[in-house]
Amino acid sequence: MSAALNKNKVILGLSGGVDSTTAALLLREKGMDVTGLYFDVSCGNEEGRRAAEQAASEIGIPFIYRNVNQLFESTVIDNFCREYAAGRTPNPCVFCNPTVKFKILTQEADRIGAFHIATGHYANTACSPQLGWTIRRAANEKKDQSYMLYRLPAEIIKRLLLPLSSMEDKQQARAIAREQGLFNADKKDSQEICFIADDENYADYIRRRGFTITEGDFVDKEGKVLGQHKGLIHYTIGQRKGLGITFGKPVFVIGVDPVKNTVTLGDHEDLFSREVISSESFFPATGSGRMPEYLENAQVLAKIRYAAKPAPARIKTMPDGRILAAFEEKQRAATPGQSIVFYLSDCVVGGGFIE
């Protein structure tokens, strides 16, 4: 990164939705020189490109288009399909942010001489002597997206501006866009998985991409065969509906075994565990999977999924390098492939993929 980068210049990920558009408005109101960057992850999303370009035009900022389909395919989509095929439940946004979105934002910022990068995420940043640069929770706990950003390194975070960090709710962002007469002020929220069409489910998507879906056995905790499942990708830990099998009482998916191609069913209480093990960890303070010394055996708050409430836990590094989180209270349905994210107060200090 060049020392000559302009600290009044910022490049913002502009999707054409109300969040990123409002973020651009707020940055411009602060006197920042804003450029909008649209990522095309699907190789020809003309509707998305037109929306982003229109947003940039109405705000009055320069617009850059980048086709990142090849990078997105080889990283995010490939990981998504392979994880599901292996009986895990990935979160593609967590994987995309460091490998695609913020990577390209930083490259383009360097190219145009901008120090800052920005997005419409509901989160904040912070810097302290102990933690260094970290992602911080947003003011609105329900909208907070800090969980999605835990794999960002400190060198990215120190350049990051998150204008929506203090928004109380999304209606506040919509109101700002509406006041400016922007076309997307009342545009509906984007779908959960950006690369899968509204009329297609993820199982069909994975099958269409050439992955073989093999039927196997439902089993109980003792290994007794209970019936046939239609393929591991159709099931996730904690699932109760759509099993295609009935027992006269509620049963839940409590385990998925890709080696044996089995789905284990059990009772609701079987879903609760006090200890959660994670791998492929990342800690912003070290820029790697190595846990900082001040976190070893430390009491933190931990989330085992995006919508979960942070819960007290003590974390430590295991002999094999994985991270063990021991919660004060049992957590429901810790799901392999999802992320566990650690906080000190409201600052993200690390996390990893649940094993």
| 253 belongs to an annotated ligand binding site | no
Any idea what DSSP says for residue 283? B
Distance CA 353, CA 355 (A): 6
Q: Which residues on neighbouring strands pair with residue 37, listed in sequence order?
A: 13, 64
The CA angle 53-57-60, to the nearest 5 degrees, is 135
Count of CB atoms within 10 A of residue 98's CB? Answer: 17
Distance CA 277, CA 352 (A): 9
Residue 38: CA count within 13 A, CB half-sphere? 26
Count of CB atoms within 10 A of residue 308's CB? Answer: 17
| 95 belongs to an annotated ligand binding site | no
| Cβ pair 61, 34 in contact under 8 A | yes
Count of CB atoms within 10 A of residue 47's CB? Answer: 9
| 288 belongs to an annotated ligand binding site | no
Count of CB atoms within 10 A of residue 293's CB? Answer: 10
Distance CA 89, CA 80 (A): 8
Distance CA 324, CA 295 (A): 12
Query: Residue 33: which H helix or E strand, with range?
Result: strand 33-40
| 13 belongs to an annotated ligand binding site | yes
Q: Catalytic residue positions? A: 96, 194
Distance CA 253, CA 251 (A): 7
| 17 belongs to an annotated ligand binding site | yes
The CA angle 71-73-76, to the nearest 5 degrees, is 90
| 216 belongs to an annotated ligand binding site | no
Question: First and final CA of the chain: distance in angstroms?
Answer: 36
Q: Strand (E) positions, 149-237?
A: 160-161, 216-219, 225-229
- Report the binding-site residues for ATP: 13-20, 39, 120
Q: Show binding-site residues.
A: 13-20, 39, 120
